[in-house]
């Protein structure tokens, strides 16, 4: 019975919108951080349950500690080291994927959020026509997606390729994506934006370089 429950739980870790089924380095780091946080929370939960079991089975053991000792020991000494390690690990993971790190000349794509669809402009290829609901990108290259909005705040996210970023009216925010191989990946709006929010989805299609140029209708010679 227990193996069946584990199998059912792990089945939810896959799928087109699962960050636990990564297809790029940024998404792998997000997944790695998730598993690290799960491990840390499991350790904290086990410690709390161990203390609870102790005081339930031996009430006199709990009485030996003053309320202040319980607060300091259980609320600070026990969780802070674990949370500090998780915090440092999270900063280390995120720092490696800031837009100005890595490749000096990433492909730039602007993602404009509307009510309720996404419009993509290929900034390095002025002759390319914008696409609606489909973002074409080259596999094996770093891609900076510049998100913006002309109405309310939206959230841009391709779970299997990278982290999420807000699309804010009057501002530009950047998230870096990378696809290990050609493929199609689901994208969603992750900031509630009104009655059409649930259907505000898109596809990120990663192509070989030649197929990428063909998909956006350019020769490959016109990059800025």
Global pTM reads 0.78
Q: Are 160 and 7 in contact (CB under 8 A)?
A: no
Residue-wise pLDDT for 57-69, tens only, equals 887 766 777 778 7
Residue-wise pLDDT for 108-137, tens only, equals 999 999 999 999 999 999 999 999 999 999
**Spans in the chain with pLDDT lower than 70:** 1-14, 61-62, 94-104, 220-224
Enumerate the domain spans of the chain: 18-95, 107-216
Residue-wise pLDDT for 166-179, tens only, equals 999 999 999 999 99
Give the DSSP letter string of the chain. -HHHHHHHHHHTT-STT-TTS-SSHHHHHHHHHHHHHHHHHHHHHHHHHHHHHHHHH-HHHHHTS-HHHHHHIIIIITHHHHHHHHHHHHHHHHHTT-TTSS-SS-EEEEEEE-SS-EEEEETT-TTSPPEESEEEEETTS-EEEEEEESSS-EEEE-TTT---EEE-BT--EEEEE--SSSEEEEEEE-S--STTGGG-EEEEEEE-HHHHHHHHT--S----
> In the prediction, which pLDDT does 153 show?
96
Assigned architecture for domain 107-216: Sandwich (2.60)
């Amino acid at each position: 019975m227990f193996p069946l429950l584990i199998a059912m739980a792990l089945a939810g870790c896959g799928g087109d919108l699962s960050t636990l089924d990564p297809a790029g380095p940024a998404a792998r780091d997000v997944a790695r951080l998730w598993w690290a946080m799960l491990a840390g929370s499991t350790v904290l939960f086990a410690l709390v349950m161990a203390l609870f079991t102790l005081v339930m089975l031996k009430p006199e053991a709990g009485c030996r500690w003053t309320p202040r000792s319980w607060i300091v020991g259980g609320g600070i000494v026990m969780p802070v080291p674990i949370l500090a390690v998780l915090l440092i690990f999270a900063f280390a993971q995120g720092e490696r994927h800031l837009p100005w790190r890595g490749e000096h000349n990433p492909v730039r794509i602007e993602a404009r959020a509307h009510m309720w669809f996404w419009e993509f402009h290929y900034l390095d290829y002025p002759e390319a026509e914008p696409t609606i609901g489909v973002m074409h990108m080259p596999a094996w290259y770093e891609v900076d997606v510049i998100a913006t909005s002309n109405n309310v705040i939206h959230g841009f996210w391709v779970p299997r390729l990278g982290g999420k970023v807000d699309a804010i009216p009057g501002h530009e925010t950047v998230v870096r994506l990378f696809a290990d191989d050609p493929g199609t990946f689901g994208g969603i709006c992750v900031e509630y934006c009104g009655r059409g929010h649930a259907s505000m989805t898109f596809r990120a299609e990663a192509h070989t370089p030649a197929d990428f140029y063909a998909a956006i209708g350019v020769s490959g010679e016109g990059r800025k």
